[in-house]
Amino acid sequence: MNIVLLEPEIPANTGNIGRTCVATGTRLHLIEPMGFRLTEKEIKRAGLDYWKDLDVTVYDNYQDFLDKNPGAKIYMATTKAQKTYTHVEYEPDCYIMFGKESAGIPEELLLANKENTIRIPMVGDIRSLNLGNSVAIVLYEALRQNNFEGMKLEGKLHHHSWDEA
C-alpha cells in the first residue's frame, strides 16, 4: 500500500501518519510544498523512534509524483466525494492520496479523477476529521480488503497464556 500526502502542513500529523505507515508496512509519499521541514523535532516526536524505519519519498510537486509513479492507481480521499471509502476495492499496490489540512485536494484534481474519489461518512456539517485519523481509517480498510497481507494477526500476553481464560 501507498499513502500520499499532497502538500501536508502540520508536522505532527505527518509524523503520526509516518508511524502508522511503519506499523503497516506502507510506503509514504510526500508532495511539496510542505508546511515544515522533515528535520523538525515535531515530526520526529510524533513519529517517535519509528521515523528511521519509514519508507518515505519526497516529490517536488504533483507532476513529479505522477512522473515517478506512472500508471499508479490513485484513490483520492475528500469530503467532497460521492462514494464512501468502503465502496471501492483497493489493489495491494494502490495509492491513497490525502490533501493538505487547510484545503484538501484541489477540485481540479478531484474532477480529473472523479471515479476514484472516496469519502469518510460524517454527521452534519463538520469540515473534516484529523488527517492522521483519516489516513488510519482508509488505510486499514484497504489492508483489511487485502487480508492484512504480511501483517501480524495475533498478539500474545507477556505474563499469562490465553488458554488460562
Q: Could you give the 3-state DSSP secondary structure of residue 30? A: strand
- Cα gap 34→99, rounded to integer Å: 11
Q: Could you give the 3-state DSSP secondary structure of residue 18? A: helix
- SS3 percent helix, strand, coil of the chain, rounded to 5, is 40, 15, 45
Q: Is 118 annotated as a binding residue?
A: no
- Cα gap 105→58, rounded to integer Å: 17
Q: Is 99 annotated as a binding residue?
A: yes
Cell numbers linked to 108: 481540479
Q: Is 134 annotated as a binding residue?
A: no
- Cα gap 85→63, rounded to integer Å: 25
Closest to 7 measured CA to CA, from 50, 48, 54, 59:
59
Residues within the annotated binding site for S-adenosyl-L-methionine?
99, 120, 128
Residues within the annotated binding site?
99, 120, 128
